[in-house]
Amino acid sequence: MPRVSDRQRIAQDIRDKISSGEYAPGDKLPSLREMIAQYGVSAEPVRSALLILQAEGLIEGHQGKGTYVTPRPEHR
């Protein structure tokens, strides 16, 4: 099996936490510094993972305020 990059692993972990409800819509994600410590990586893979998730519409960053889980549209 090919090795999963740190950014892919982090992005998938955050996706899983959003899917499970651990991170609910509107919740603030941990800070960059906290995620660096949590995942044991440098800042670059964390930033890359967050950019992937922003492009997917799962999170949104607010300058100086943090990164938040976006509200999910109703699928009814």
Alpha-carbon dihedral of residues 28, 72, 17, 68, nearest 10 degrees?
A: -20
pLDDT in tens, 8-54: 999 999 999 999 999 999 999 999 999 999 999 999 999 999 999 99
CA distance 56 to 68: 13
**pTM exceeding 0.75:** yes
Alpha helices in the chain (DSSP H): 6-20, 32-39, 43-55
Q: Which domains does the chain have, with CATH numbers?
A: 6-69 (1.10.10.10)
